Amino acid sequence: MDFPMFHLDWLNDRFLIAVIAIVHVFINHGLAVGFIPYIAWLEQKGVRMAGAADITDPEWDHLIYRKMKVAFIITTTLGAMTGVGIWFSAGLISPSSIGSLIRVFYFAWFVEWLTFVTEVVLIMIYFLTWKQSNHSLKAKIRHIRFGWFLSIFSWITMCIIVSILGFMMDPGNWNNDHSLISGFTNPIYLPQLFFRTPTAMVLGGVFGMLLTTLFASRNSKWRETALKDGARWMLCWAPVSLAAAIIYYKAMPEAMRENLSTAVGTMEFAQYYDLLRYIIPGAVSLVVVLGVWTWLRPRSVRMWMVLVPCIAAFGFLGIFERVREFIRKPYVIGGYMYSNLLRKEDYPLYKRNGLLTYATYATAGKVTPENKLSTGQDVFMLSCSRCHTTNGINSIVYVFERLYGVGKPLDENSVAAYIPNMHQGRTYMPPFPGNTEELHALAAYIKHLQVTGESLEGAQSAGVMVNPDNNMHNTQPLADTAQSK
Ligand code: HEC
């Protein structure tokens, strides 16, 4: 509540983060973490295959170089931009949660920054010195070593971020002792890292095979060997990925049961969970079938035969990320901060004194008959707008109409009766944070939206209004929270 609310009414705020984040994960896992070691391995293989008089096989080396060129261009442009874009969009939409995460993970993020800069320098060196390094065996071996260094640094950047992702799902002991170490070693961290590593390798391999079918024509000398190597790479990693997925899913519901039991039982989750149960084995079997087929009959492999498992594998990763985000609800940081950016421990204050009393940006601090609609809009912005729009994706009018009949005029009292209980039936939603007057103002505003079809502008276009009644010092703290402070 300390930040003005950015809001994209036509899109849905969470959707913006999701799109940028999923593109980034595709690139990070498929073209960096899993792809670079595959490239370094193939480059090394070129040196081993060359005759005694040569440094490497020029044709083979050129094929691998062209694959690396694709990864270089995409990772340093779209990859880097979406990486920064995640933090920009999350910082806009969810500033309080990013603020908390930075306070907890300050040093981890600092190390992440150093690692990332090193990674960028290494990828520059690796790609830009590739051709020069072919002049002497010593230079070539040094170059390959840079490929392995780059692989390690790409993996370390992922290692750090995965800890933060795990933390948001289940902070483990951090909720008691608030230390970086217990935050970093949260219960979901290692299972998730163990799952992401081989999965990234499978993605890197299948994407590499796709590039082979594009860059090595059918009469090219190395096409079959390169395809078989891709198959070998995938067949090595796919079983590890499957085993790790099972371990991860075993680890997750248990941790979820303790802290996030509310998120597991939802209808949406059940649907995704089912989908996931088919998609994981489906994508893995497609990759394995492709691997075995290529191993046995490399000549017959066509581009589309690689494209289908490639899309399935990337699709699987996308769904995995979506589920990971969903089961965390109603929290943005498990057990600590709800997805509406309000801390759980502050709820008793909001309930007693009203949410708007504590809002830095609002049209008023108290609901009156005159300001009911504008304060209702403030309450919507503060407690629903991170997940609902007025008439875009997951529109608040639509979800109420779905309950009470599409096109039928909403009844303010039924809406007001539903909201205080919404977190019980739909456990992915946080409880309503405000007092009774705010509840009725919100219901009146939702009804008003249905009648007028009005849309809601975020602070970025509507500007901000500092709450004229915000006077934190005059509000009496609750006895119990005063003691715990
Ligand atoms: C953490 C995100 C989140 C927040 C915050 C949130 N909702 Fe929801 N809400 C959802 C999701 C997700 C759905 C399910 C949409 C669907 O099924 O298509 C939903 C569904 C609903 C439904 C329909 C429930 C049903 O049984 O079909 C209502 C009504 C609703 N929300 C009202 C609200 C109100 C009012 C607020 C603010 C006080 C709010 N929500 C805050 C995520 C949220």
Check residue 266 and give its pLDDT: 43
Assess whether the C-beta atom of 478 lies below 6 angstroms from ligand 1. no
**Radius of gyration of the CA atoms of the chain, in A:** 26
Q: Tokens 């902070």 — which residue? A: 171
Residue 344, CB-side half-sphere exposure with 13 Å CA sphere? 13
336, 100 Cβ separation under 8 angstroms = yes
User: Residue 10: is its pLDDT beyond 50?
Assistant: yes
Check residue 318 and give its pLDDT: 83
Ligand 1 atom having least distance to the Cα of 379: 38
Assess whether the C-beta atom of 331 lies below 6 angstroms from ligand 1. no
Assess whether the C-beta atom of 384 lies below 6 angstroms from ligand 1. yes
Which carries the bigger pLDDT value, residue 270 or residue 295?
A: 295
405, 33 Cβ separation under 8 angstroms = no
Check residue 385 and give its pLDDT: 95
pLDDT confidence bin for 262, thresholds 50/70/90: very low
In the chain, domain spans? 13-333, 344-484
Assess whether the C-beta atom of 330 lies below 6 angstroms from ligand 1. yes
Testing ligand 1's pocket by substitution, the residue of 383, 388, 394 carrying the most ligand atoms inside 8 A of its CB is: 388
pLDDT confidence bin for 271, thresholds 50/70/90: low
Testing ligand 1's pocket by substitution, the residue of 272, 337, 384, 404 carrying the most ligand atoms inside 8 A of its CB is: 384
User: Residue 419: is its pLDDT beyond 80?
Assistant: yes
Q: Which of 47-61, 132-146, 160-174, 243-257 is most confident?
A: 132-146
pTM: 0.88
456, 390 Cβ separation under 8 angstroms = yes
Distance of alpha carbon 485 from the chain centroid: 33
Which tens digits make up the pLDDT trace of 132-159? 999 999 999 999 999 999 999 999 999 9
Assess whether the C-beta atom of 423 lies below 6 angstroms from ligand 1. no
Ligand 1 atom having least distance to the Cα of 425: 26
Which tens digits make up the pLDDT trace of 68-101? 999 999 999 999 999 999 999 999 999 999 999 9
Testing ligand 1's pocket by substitution, the residue of 15, 399, 427 carrying the most ligand atoms inside 8 A of its CB is: 399
Check residue 483 and give its pLDDT: 43
Q: What percent of the chain has pLDDT over 90?
A: 71
Q: Is 406 helix (H, G, I), strand (E, B) or coil?
A: coil
Which residue has the least CA distance to atom 17 on ligand 1? 268
Residue 88 CA to ligand 1 centre (angstroms): 25
Ligand 1 atom having least distance to the Cα of 340: 5
